[in-house]
Amino acid sequence: MAKNRTIPFGYMMQNGRITSNPKEVLTVVTIFSEYLAGKSLSEISAEMDVPYSENSKWNKNMVKRILENEKYLGTPIFPQLISEEIFKTANEKRVKKATSVHEISAELNELRKITVCNECGHRLFRSGGNTRSEKWDCRNSECSRFEYRLMDSMLIDGISAILNAVAANIELIDTDCKISGYTPNGEILLKQNEINRMIDAAESDFDEVKNEIFRLAEMKYQRCTYSDIPQKTRLLKTLFSEKAQTENLNIDFLKSTVKQVKVSHNFTIETEFINGIKIRNTTERSEENDVIAECNDNSFKAENR
């Protein structure tokens, strides 16, 4: 079992005072030198001969701790082992490298906010940072991982194909939804008949009839519906009429027009527009199962069912 160090690597206790350990100092200096020369943390850890601690082998996290340890700059207790310039340069490089690997562009970050797994609805996880090994996947423990590697280019190309198809045929995002509507139910019809009988009666209580009329008006109001879908559809048509087809994905345009992007485990990409219309890049588009649109090889056709 590895024994944890009580004194930082590079130092030792001698005559009741902490002093430098010659063998370990050479290793500390080598770590900084090799890192500045371009070697990775893993490569450096594989070359270390002096053990980090008793029965403990080097790893990249140990090397990282060496690079981050400000005690090597010197304190009233710990002698200086590394110059301030070398320490600063090495850590600026480390922070810059970590940032470039793990951070993604603002555009991809916005895309990640609206992209979910079609099977479970959880937001997709994007790994790989700013590297060529990026991957979008479902990390929901109750769902399952994708059987293929979904890369940025695949996702962006699929979404762009849908947007370009809509730009070429704006009718794809059309809808028959009305701003408002009213549909009476059986209870309302019964109440109306009851009021009619009260009015036709030879003797009727005026206040009672008035209250029942107010009650009927309330019941009718509750059956009225309002939808902002027509306004959103007009907005979409305006935006798409001004959009030229392009291979590049405009994130601002995407945020203005698309509510959510769903990716299935068989690599079908579906966009849900802000007016509720859903379009898939391979199979169908549906609005409450009454309209279907197909897209094959970046071409769409719509069919009323």
How many Å apart are CA 84 and CA 89, to the nearest integer?
A: 9
How many Å apart are CA 117 and CA 112, to the nearest integer?
A: 11
The encoded tokens of residue 302 equal 């719509």
**What is the average pLDDT across 162-174?**
92
Q: Which tens digit of pLDDT belongs to each residue from 184-237?
A: 889 989 988 988 888 888 787 888 888 989 988 888 888 877 788 899 999 999
CA atoms within a 13 Å half-sphere pointing along the CA-CB vector of 90: 29
Provide the whole-model pTM.
Answer: 0.53
Give the range with max mean pLDDT: 23-32, 119-128, 202-211, 244-253.
23-32
**What is the average pLDDT across 14-37?**
95
The encoded tokens of residue 150 equal 């979904």
For residue 56, the 8-state DSSP code is B
**What is the average pLDDT across 58-66?**
93
In sign, the C-alpha dihedral spanning 106, 108, 109, 114 is positive
Phi-psi region of 289 (alpha: psi -120 to 50; beta: other; left: phi over 0): left
